[in-house]
Structure 1
């Protein structure tokens, strides 16, 4: 079964939104990302067949959705359809939904919920994903959803490094403004403080000070993704004596290494 991080990378490179299609090609190529993407672009007929099968399975799944779950979605959905003609829960509905679930928007588990519901941006839960994904885990009420989140998603975020890394990487795209490729530093800081473990707090604050001292205002996806393994290495090697500039770190990390060594902080 394809790993969440690999599925996300496949979706980003291929430009599609179907995790089912991504999973199919990753599984078909034993999880090897480059081969999977090449397979995807080289076999458009296979892609069409998988998409057709996925839509068929989705329709079957939707038929089994309870009236109770549909009514719950309708309670929060926007009165108008989105630009693709589909029902969705917008910002206002999301806030009411989170309030009923008992979560503050600043709770990190809300990111797990957004990922679980395949949300592509803040305040946007599509009807099909909402109904299908909750139906798949047997949740039809607010209480059942709250229990699922607290019993399954929250502990997983704390105890499963692979899942945490997937959520961390998902967050960049999730909070990114439309048509933008970089995050403003203040927003990146906000979510670093929300997501990153307390054990990295000293290293993170030193890194943030470096960003401000060097007038850095934006963070790229690569810088965001690589910060997590970088902080892990920095935590284990506070002097960064083992840092290797020849490795595939973003240039920003090389500059931070030079900053640490120059005692500018």
Structure 2
């Protein structure tokens, strides 16, 4: 029978036999009144049965929990002390509730922690609880990428890695949860998406760019060595190289006295390439640029003047 009582009907007792009326027309009102009476009786008995069964079910629940209460809408609230555990409609869970719960489950994309940990264990160093240089090389090999590719830098950024060539257990596990991967195949599929997100969003690229400076530092370092800075500039701009990048890096290579790059200089270089034109005509030395940029612009202007002088002499 289930929990639906709306179709439950008790057949009315058969009416006592009566002599047929001589006038058929006079029997019609009597028959209609009898039918109406039967309908009223059926409806009344259905309502009584429904109420009795609801009360019986509520009493059964009340016996199993002394704090249960029957609500006005026919549901039962089961409580223990001041806490309410559930609210059970007597008719069972409605279709809308089932649909809503199903939709919520479909929106949640869970990652198996056990699979992520197992993946970490494949590349973990034997002596330390981290993936070190050898493990990262094997990881990159399985991902079919080189360790010096842009996507690996993006992966390290999303993992919030503190040091180059090192993923701690926490960094790796938390990072996999963040990008929602639990296998090599999933990571391979996700990496191109992560790179596109960074390339299409200037704010995300700015965060990646600033992370790169910290990523290249050794512990206790505060200034990035010039040779490391040159490598990282080439890497972080490998997908969208500024027009003046090559000249800037050659300038650093030709001036060995520039031994390190401070954080401010690193951060301001992104503003520098976005503000100054290819010919450096928009550069204003009155602004608060790092002194190294002044030296670079002066060097470039000298190069241009020398080229002009040589061209005139040849003529």
Q: TM-score range by the shorter chain?
A: 0.5 to 0.7
Q: 1:131 & 1:226 partners in 2: Cα distance?
A: 33
User: Computing the radius of gyration over CA atoms, which structure comes out larger, 1 or 2?
Assistant: 2
Q: Which residues of structure 1 form unaligned runs of 5+? A: 1-63, 82-86
CA spacing shift, 1:159–1:136, aligned 2, 3 Å: closer
Task: Determine which structure has greater relative contact order: mean sequence separation of CA pairs < 8 Å that are 6+ residues apart, divided by chain length.
Answer: 1
Q: Which residues of structure 2 form unaligned runs of 5+? A: 1-110, 307-315
CA spacing shift, 1:209–1:98, aligned 2, 3 Å: closer
TM-score by length of structure 1 reads 0.65
Equivalent of 1:142, from 165, 171, 184?
184
Q: Which residue of 1 aligns with 2:175?
A: 133
TM-score by length of structure 2 reads 0.56
Q: 1:133 & 1:142 partners in 2: Cα distance?
A: 14
Q: Which runs of 4+ in 1 moved over 6 A?
A: none
Q: 1:154 & 1:78 partners in 2: Cα distance?
A: 28
Q: 1:227 & 1:170 partners in 2: Cα distance?
A: 14
Residue 160 (1) aligns with residue 213 (2)? no
Shift of 1:104: 0.5
Q: Which residue of 2 aligns with 1:183?
A: 224
Residue 249 (1) aligns with residue 289 (2)? yes
Contact 2:137–2:147 (Cα < 8 Å) also in 1:
yes
Shift of 1:65: 4.2
Shift of 1:210: 2.6
Contact 1:76–1:96 (Cα < 8 Å) also in 2:
yes
Over the aligned positions, Cα root-mean-square deviation in angstroms equals: 2.3
Contact 1:168–1:195 (Cα < 8 Å) also in 2:
yes
Q: Which residue of 1 aligns with 2:145?
A: 103
Contact 1:78–1:89 (Cα < 8 Å) also in 2:
yes
Q: How many residues align?
A: 194
Structure with more of its chain in helix, by fraction = 1
Q: Counterpart of 2:244 in 1: which secondary structure?
A: helix
